Amino acid sequence: MITESGTLKRQRELRRFIRRQVFAAAGVSALPIPGVDLLVNSRLLVHTLTRINLHYGLAPEQLAALPRPMRNQVDQAIQEVGSYLIGRVVTQTAVFTAVKSLGLRLSAQQAAKLAPIAGMAASAVLSGWLFKRLCERHVAQCERVCAQVPQLPAPPSGMDLIESA
């Protein structure tokens, strides 16, 4: 079991990792080429969400190693939380589905690229905000699943899950 200070340290490092990814997504969105940022940022988001799943012990390979009764409990908790990105292989298609709910903002972000400097800055800010919001929502959902299944084994110690990203 992870100690409280170990848990807090892991949470801090996860937040730091997400913050770095948000800045990378915003930086890509500042490029003046419409559309390229969608591809790059979706890949970056797939990678980030996969690492978040690993961090919480909710990656598909981690869940597959659980005993069947516990796996059923986790599956039920995931359904209650309403996430289709936990416990599954995160793909670009799944990410685009998750982003659809924020489609208007995404369109505004792409339209902002048409203006010169101010548009690129606005695009970067909107993209960073969207990326951060999706990651924070996923973290909250993972935390809710872990709270509903307290006997879920702790993920492997060491932040190589996050740092190897």
Give the residue-averaged pLDDT of 59-88: 91
Which structure tokens are listed for 54? 């690993």
Q: What is the pLDDT of residues 85-117, one digit of tens each?
A: 888 888 877 776 666 655 545 555 555 555 566
Q: What pLDDT does residue 1 have?
A: 44
- Boundaries of every domain in the chain: 4-149
- What's the half-sphere exposure (Cβ side, CA atoms, 13 Å) at 44? 26
**Contact in structure between 57 and 152 (CB atoms under 8 Å):** yes
pLDDT over 70 percentage in the chain: 75
Give the residue-averaged pLDDT of 42-70: 92
Mark 62-80 as b/e (b = at least 16 C-beta within 10 Å): bbeebeeeeeebbbebbee
- pTM summary value: 0.79
* CB neighbours of residue 55 within 10 Å: 21
Give the residue-averaged pLDDT of 6-17: 86
Compute the distance between CA of residue 77 and CA of residue 52 in angstroms, rounded to an integer: 17
**Contact in structure between 134 and 98 (CB atoms under 8 Å):** yes
